[in-house]
Structure 1
């Protein structure tokens, strides 16, 4: 059996990179690990899981920028156009990293982040209307979750070999999270690499996925049942009143 496709083999620091652990983002353990050790990107679907502030989105955004995607979402083809020159979310980390790509495979990258997806929709509807799928389709006419799923089924994702997602579950119902997970598995079967930052115990249970916990220890591979978010949800669903008593 041939080895799984890896359009992106590794993200590594520029040789001249100097790490300053006292300043952001180097103060984040996962970022510091990336800048000192690099990151071998697994094949298939990989989830980054951790608390707010652990560095998940910082890593995803930096990798997207290194690969040529706009930090507000899209592909390298969407860097130009109305209001796309202002990159308020540009990462200071990306300039100190470089990508090591695998031989062959589709090199296009697609990046979608829930936080800025509506600005990306605005851009598409204003500058790329004729190429939307289907003709005349407008993502704003769908619900937040429906538009997200439709975007992941669009020609933009279909053309990509690398798909980056930042907290996609924030837009989705339980059923649509299952739909998303099935779609991610299908992407992996097509030879795509998927890197997704998430808080979802549902998504991270996807069979065959690599789960990396992001925290004080940096990045480490963890089995699903040992994830902090899985343990918390199990305890909460068993006795929610115990959690509410702490905060009310």
Structure 2
């Protein structure tokens, strides 16, 4: 099925005051995570999300995972991941950014998707085993379990949020994920992915947003600092190592 609009059209600051979702606490800009430049920019300017794949790329602490998490929760995913129908939580650790966000959904799109959050996959697997015994995800290697999730849940149009999925994947498995993402896009689906992988971010036709002290900026893959560093390192590791190792 081809959607006339993607599942998510735009993310912006919720101007209703958050009464319906219980938003409370520090005003944006005064405390974490609102002091992060990229988060402040999201609230001030909003973010139009392109159809297909969008990658958030940046250093640790730049805010990419915080933004991804906030958007995922505002869309309706459970804090620790799963499909849109999963509602489980074992140890709340998320910020309240999601209570400040408004999601403009695409007209005529179905509310389906999956949130993959790397640091909470163990609790997600336990939940999935409880609701559907026999999944066997706990018995698989980290990478194998990820590929099993992709096969079972990433097969139809919807909105997919993925936080550093490459953490569990080999080079070959990362290429398999690229193919899955391309199939989702071809079917009319959409994904927002926080990543450190230059391989994932190289998906043709994807939107790449670099996140850093400047906030967020859309760039070409070849212009990413991440790509530049990896190319330089692989060409001559000693140029980096001599500054690290004595």
TM-score (norm 1): 0.90
Question: Of the candidates 198, 212, 220, which is equivalent to residue 209 of structure 2?
Answer: 212
Question: Of the candidates 91, 94, 101, which is equivalent to residue 98 of structure 2?
Answer: 94
Instruction: State the secondary structure of the residue aligned to 1:153.
Output: helix
Question: Of the candidates 124, 130, 136, which is equivalent to residue 128 of structure 2?
Answer: 124
Deviation at 1:77, TM superposition (A): 1.5
Question: Of the candidates 58, 61, 72, which is equivalent to residue 53 of structure 1?
Answer: 61
What CA deviation, in whole Å up to 9, does each residue of 1:176-214 have, x standing for no partner? 000001110110001001100000011111111110001
Deviation at 1:115, TM superposition (A): 1.3
Which residue number in structure 1 is paired with residue 43 of structure 2?
A: 35
Q: Do 2:3 and 2:109's aligned partners in 1 also have CA atoms closer than 8 Å?
A: no
Is 1:245 the equivalent of 2:246?
no
Is 1:192 the equivalent of 2:198?
no
Question: Of the candidates 138, 155, 158, which is equivalent to residue 158 of structure 1?
Answer: 155
Is 1:147 the equivalent of 2:145?
yes
Instruction: State the secondary structure of the residue aligned to 1:77.
Output: coil
Deviation at 1:22, TM superposition (A): 3.9
Q: Do 2:118 and 2:164's aligned partners in 1 also have CA atoms closer than 8 Å?
A: yes
Deviation at 1:58, TM superposition (A): 0.2
Which residue number in structure 2 is paired with residue 69 of structure 1?
A: 77
RMSD: 1.8
Deviation above 2 Å: which 4+ runs of structure 1? 2-5, 16-22, 84-87, 156-160
Structure 1 Cα separation of the partners of residues 121 and 3 of structure 2: 34
Deviation at 1:75, TM superposition (A): 2.4
Deviation at 1:8, TM superposition (A): 0.7
- The range that moved more, 28-37 or 14-23, is 14-23
* Runs (5+) with no aligned partner, structure 1: 130-135
